[in-house]
Structures are given as structure tokens and as C-alpha cells.
Amino acid sequence: MTSSSNPQQAVEPTQTDPLINRINDLIREMGERLADGDDYEHQWMAEHCDNPEAAALLSDLTVGMLHVLDAIGRLELVNGITISKQFGIPKGSVSKVTRKLAAKNLIVTETLPNNKKEILFRMTPLGKEIFNVHRMMHVEMELRMSQFLRRYSPDELKFIASIIQDFGQMRWFNDQGLLD
């Protein structure tokens, strides 16, 4: 068994250990910042929302609710199955979230004249305001990310993209719940 397959087995220190430890710390810090980002996102949207009623509602909306509202806004007049398939949101979550969005008067449900069983979702004017400010926030975030990344050369960007891709594909645990 190699030392990498048994985390409890002693591993010889290397010159890269301080850098690896620093990278682990930075990843942990970035995760914490991203987790805290929901508060900043809600604050940004509230500050950029013209309607006080919509701004007040923002603090009650979870990220999942915003994602479902975004899906409805993009695909409007859409059913829950389509939202689930196109955005990778579980059907049960879509059903639960759409009920909450309807209760907050952000969406309404409709049926087709020839199919009363299929429920379709459409945004209300209040829902459209939140959808629009949410889209504006994402445009602003993408703009800032692009500006930030422009400081790097094409070769550096390829390297960063490679690391992020590898990191995203890394298996953290095997079938027994242990690190590979």
C-alpha cells in the first residue's frame, strides 16, 4: 500500500509541503468567502433594486429560489420538468421552491386550455424585477472576473484553467469513504 492510499501512514516531508499547505489554506479561505458570498449578493441586489418591496423580499430568498426564478425567467412559460432537466435541479426541489415563489407573489401558475394537468410557471412583475436584478448581479460578477483574469498571460490562463478542471474532476473519496 502506498503512502497516498493510507492517510494515516507517515509521509516524508518534501520541499513542496509548505506550498501545498498554503494552497490548502487558500482553498479553505476561498470556500469560506464563497459561502459568505450569499449575504454580499443579497446586499448588492437590494442596493440595485428600484422597488422597495422587491428589495425587502430578497433577504427571504435562498440561492436555490433565485436559481429556480432565474430558470423560469429564461424559459418563461415553463413546467417543472423542463426546469429540472435544463438546469439540473431535482424535480422535488423545483416543486417545493415554486410553491414558495408563488406564495411570495414572484410567480404564478397557469395551465394550457387543452391540458389542465400540466402546471406552467410565469413570473409576476415583482418576480421580473428580482430576476432582472439577479441577472444584473451575474453580469457584474462576470465582468469583474474577466477584468481580474486579464492580468494573466494566455499561458498562465491555460494553466489556471487546467488546475481548476483537474480540481473539479478530482475524486476526494473512494467507495469506502477513504481518500484515494
pLDDT for 54-90, tens place per residue? 999 998 999 899 999 999 999 999 999 999 999 899 9
Q: Percent of the chain, pLDDT > 70?
A: 89
Of residues 6 and 130, which shows the higher confidence score? 130
* Residue-level pLDDT at 177: 66
The three cell numbers of residue 37 are: 458570498
pLDDT tens-digit series, residues 135-151: 999 999 999 999 999 99
Residue 2 pLDDT: 45
pLDDT score of 1: 43
How do residues 93-104 score in pLDDT, each as one tens digit? 999 999 999 999
Backbone φ and ψ of 61, nearest 5°: -95, 130
For the domain covering 51-160, report its CATH number: 1.10.10.10
Rounded distance between C-alpha atoms, residue 174 and residue 180, angstroms: 6
Distance CA 97, CA 66 (A): 9
Does residue 154 surpass a pLDDT of 90?
A: yes
Question: Which of 124 and 11 is assigned the larger pLDDT?
Answer: 124
Reported as type and span, the H/E element at residue 109 is: strand 107-112
